[in-house]
Amino acid sequence: MSKSCLESSTNLESYENIESQVSLESSLNLPTRSGFVATLGRPNAGKSTLLNHLLGENLALVSHKANATRKQLQIIVPYTPLNAQIVFVDTPGIHHQEKLLNQYMLSQALKAMGDCDLALYLAPITDDVKHYQHFLELYQGKHILLLSKSDTCSNEAILAKMAEYQKFDKHFLALLPFSVKKGFNRDLLLKTIASFLPQSPFYYDDELLTPTSTKEIYKEMIRESLFENLSDEIPYEADVMLKRFEEGEKLDRIFAEIIVEKQSQKGVVIGKGGSSIKRISKCAREKILALSPKSVYLKIDVSVYKGWSKQKDLLKKIGYDFTL
């Protein structure tokens, strides 16, 4: 999906435009840098929120519920002062469970570790250091340690937590506190990441925000609406499948299916008199319209697929590719 396709793109202030022009001129003589950066961390560490903040668009699924992200999503963020293109890979949270879907999610995170040029590990500022130690048992590659949600602590508490992590300084390239809410250290984070990327031609066109297809992004918008409008349990046993997607010049027609494990869950998703499914559909349509300049027709059905999250054939049908 390209920037030209997004009517909701954030308008930069005039001083930022001037600054970007100066940065562009000063970076013309620099070699291009480009690479893949895996965002890693425990469930609900704030990975998707961070990437949406850096991009300036809501592409990655954000939820206060853990394990909302189930697949990799690539998000492209330029850093003009160093003539760099950073390709962030949003990954599911690192966790261990027996369910086949959860095993798939872990495999996505592990694959990103192996494929990336650099990793960004998010540790919420209130996290116990032992979680980072567990991460080090899984990954010994180059990474930056980011203390997320730093706005929830005082400066003294941030410094104290940074001191705790300093005993691992031989493992990380840099240690940075960060707050999406306050926005501090954004430029420093991008500069630090870009400086560690290899010299390489850009992997993608300058105008591209993500190589992920429009169809997949719309599917995530519907799934995000599920998380926002249903109770804690239902979204984890539900998913979204696009049965048909008709892309037109002025109108996109989306025919989706919400799948659940049990008949009782279907009733909850539909709601009394169809109230819940109407609310989910309205929410999803608004999210899609915020990303697309075109009109949208959205029809959502609800079906029961018993044991879908434990059966590889059903997971493949939904779109989880176990061959990757």
Whether residue 295 is annotated as binding a ligand: the answer is no
Residue 183: per-residue pLDDT: 74
SS3 256: strand
pLDDT of residue 105: 57
Question: So what's the pLDDT on residue 133?
Answer: 94
Was 35 annotated as part of a binding site? no
Count Cα neighbours of 16 within 13 Å in the Cβ-side half-sphere: 5
Residue 200 is assigned to a ligand binding site: no
CA distance 250 to 144: 43
Please check if 92 is assigned to a binding site. yes
Asked whether residue 65 is marked as a ligand-binding residue, the answer is no
The pLDDT value given to residue 67 = 45
Q: How far is CA 261 from CA 201, 280, 309, in A?
A: 46, 18, 8
Q: Where in the chain is the domain with CATH 3.40.50.300?
A: 3-195
Which CATH fold topology does 3-195 show? Answer: Rossmann fold (3.40.50)
pLDDT at 59: 64
CATH annotation of 214-318: 3.30.300.20
Q: Where in the chain is the domain with CATH 3.30.300.20?
A: 214-318
DSSP three-state, residue 127 = coil
CA distance 162 to 297: 50
Distance CA 6, CA 201 (A): 25
48 in a known ligand binding site: yes
pLDDT at 14: 34
Residue 202: what pLDDT? 94
Q: Give residue 112's pLDDT.
A: 59
Q: Say if residue 45 carries a ligand binding annotation.
A: yes
Q: Model-level pTM?
A: 0.69
Taking alpha carbons only, the member of 60, 168, 72, 55 closest to residue 113 is: 72
User: Is 215 marked as binding a ligand?
Assistant: no
pLDDT along the chain (324 residues), means of 10: 41 37 56 92 80 74 47 83 92 56 57 78 93 88 92 92 95 93 85 95 86 84 86 74 91 94 91 94 92 91 88 76 56
Q: Known binder of ligand: residue 182?
A: no
4 is in an annotated binding site: no
Q: Is 41 annotated as a binding residue?
A: yes
